Amino acid sequence: MKRNVHLFAVVACALFAFVFMGAEKAKKAAQPKGEPIQAKIGVISIITGQGAAYGEAITNGIKLARDEVNAKGEVFVDLKVEDSSGKQEQALAAAQKLINSEKVVAIIGPTLSNEMKVAGPEANASGVPIMGTSTTAKGITQIGKYVFRNALPESQAIPASIGKAVKKYNIKKVALLYGNDDVFTKSGFDTMKEVSEKLKLNIVTIQEFQKGQADYKAQLTKIASLKPDAVFCSALYNEGGVILAQARKMGLKVPFVGGNGFNSPQVIEIAKDAAEGLVVATPWYPERNDPKVKAFVAKYEKTYGKKPDQFAAQAYDAFYIMTDALKAAGKPDRDRLRDSMAATKNFQGVLGKFSFDAERDVVMEPIVLVIKGGKFQIFR
């Protein structure tokens, strides 16, 4: 009997040791203690061509966040940056290269909603999480369950800016002006029209233009002749700045409410004094009394010699959202990362408190700003 008990004890100890060592071995294999999670993350951005100011800000914001995250030692990210030049075919080729050749765990970008319409389906079909930081058109996250964005969509920003402007300026009659050859500007126009109709505003005219257009005299002459109380304009900064400059030169002094494309210091650079009074909505306000915002602005200015705009801030937060999700996932696995990202709630970044909703879209409050004294200020 004693011999059997002794034998049982030996076998039990051996089994315990085997299970314990196996568990420890598995644990170490999943994530070696003290070693960072190493991952490749791709970036698709407009580095050259029209819209490069957006891409520069986005890439700068991501690189600044990358340097901070890598220095902390929990996650080490190898960034792979691809230039799309704002073109769909290049965005698609960039996505394919990052997914198939670089084997990235996830992608940040591309810059434009037009580009996401082709890059998003490619990433989604490949099971690669992709997050837009400036893709604000309708339907972006509906592309598929691997598609995310932390960019405040036009459907949230525009109602806020129009609502405040209508109340402040007692607007009754409006003219709508938009770029008709871009998913982003078309989506902004659709929201402006929808909000105008909901507020029972009289839309006196709808005018269109094309990307890269230089002369807006015909559209602005028509608008001026109908004497609206305001102009609601959906444009990228290149066209938006020129439109403001030409409108003011022609004597069109009514308030302008701009879509998300106007949320760039480049509008002020192009339009100069003509940008005064432009109303926009954004999640980003660099003068916010918040230690995290102040630290980001100071470090960005020191690194790049200029203040960060909305696009830099959104990209900076996006990188932190993604790397926080990587830590939660425990390893650079595409599916586990997707699930961790989708679970993001109450992330506190430089934009404020952020969560993803059930469709991986933005949950946060916009801030309405006006250009005054050559800079964006709170619109009161």
Q: Is residue 268 part of a domain?
A: yes
Boundary (domain end) residue, out of 282, 309, 331: 282
Does residue 278 form part of some domain? Answer: yes
Last residue within a domain, chosen from 282, 313, 337:
282
Mean pLDDT of 249-253: 96
pLDDT of residue 34: 67
Residue 170 and residue 249 share a domain: yes
End-to-end CA separation in angstroms for the chain: 89
Task: Write the pLDDT tens digit of every residue in 192-245.
Answer: 999 999 999 999 999 999 988 999 999 999 999 999 999 999 999 999 999 999
**Paired residues of 283 in beta bridges:** none
Among 310, 212, 228, smallest CA distance to 261 is for: 310
273 domain residue, yes or no: yes
Residue 21 has pLDDT above 70, yes or no: no
Does residue 136 sit in the same domain as residue 161? no
Q: Which whole number is the average pLDDT over 166-170?
A: 97
Long-range contacts for 214-221 (Cβ within 8 Å, ≥24 apart)?
Answer: 214/242, 215/246, 216/242, 216/243, 216/246, 216/247, 217/246, 217/250, 219/177, 220/246, 220/247, 220/250, 220/252, 221/250
pLDDT reading at 30 higher than 70: no
In-domain check, residue 338 = yes
Task: Check whether 15 has a pLDDT greater than 50.
Answer: no
360 domain-assigned:
yes
Cα–Cα distance measured from residue 178 to residue 137, given in angstroms and rounded to the nearest whole number: 14
Mean pLDDT (the chain, rounded):
91
Average pLDDT, integer, range 248-274? 95
pLDDT of residue 7: 43
User: Is 50 exceeded by the pLDDT of residue 17?
Assistant: no
Residue 11 has pLDDT above 60, yes or no: no
Q: What is the pLDDT of residue 212?
A: 87
Mean pLDDT of 144-167: 96
Q: Let me know whether 165 and 269 are in one domain.
A: yes
Percentages (nearest 5) of helix, strand, coil residues in the chain: 50, 20, 30
**Calpha distance 153→55 (Å, rounded):** 18
Q: Structurally, how many domains does the chain consist of?
A: 2
Average pLDDT over residues 277-289: 93
**Is residue 313 located within the same domain as residue 298?**
yes
Residues 6+ apart with CB under 8 A from 276: 371, 372, 373, 374
Structural domain includes residue 373? no
Comparing 247 with 21, the larger pLDDT belongs to: 247
Q: Note whether 263 and 342 are same-domain residues.
A: no
Q: Distance of alpha carbon 327 from its chain centroid, rounded? A: 21
Instruction: Tell me the CATH number at 232.
Output: 3.40.50.2300
- Looking at the predicted structure, is the pLDDT value of residue 116 above 70? yes
Which residue carries 């030049």 as its tokens? 85
The backbone torsions φ and ψ at residue 241, rounded to the nearest 5 degrees and listed phi first, read -65, -40
Residue 43 in contact with residue 62, Cβ under 8 Å?
yes
Average pLDDT rounded to a whole number, residues 113-138: 97
Q: How confident is the model at residue 33 (pLDDT cuts 50, 70, 90)?
A: low
Q: Is residue 31 part of a domain?
A: no
Is the domain of 127 the same as that of 160? no
| Residues 320-337 pLDDT 10s | 999 999 999 999 999 999
Half-sphere exposure in the Cβ direction for 230 (13 Å, CA): 25
Q: Are residues 166 and 241 in the same domain?
A: yes
pLDDT above 60: residue 28 = no
* The domain boundary residue, chosen from 234, 264, 282: 282
Q: Percentage of the chain with pLDDT > 90?
A: 86
Same domain, 140 and 240: no
**What pLDDT, on a 0 to 100 scale, did the predictor assign at position 134?**
95
Q: Are residues 160 and 264 both part of a single domain?
A: yes
Over the stretch 338-378, which tens digit does the pLDDT of each residue have? 999 999 999 999 999 999 999 999 999 899 999 999 999 99
Nearest to 321 by CA among 69, 137, 134, 76: 69
Are residues 173 and 134 both part of a single domain?
Answer: no
Pick 128 or 12 by higher pLDDT.
128
> Is the pLDDT reported for residue 175 higher than 80?
yes
Residue 226's domain comprises 155-282
Residue 320 lies in a domain: yes
| Residues 146 and 164 reside in one and the same domain | no
Q: Are residues 146 and 191 in the same domain?
A: no
Tell me what pLDDT residue 14 has: 44
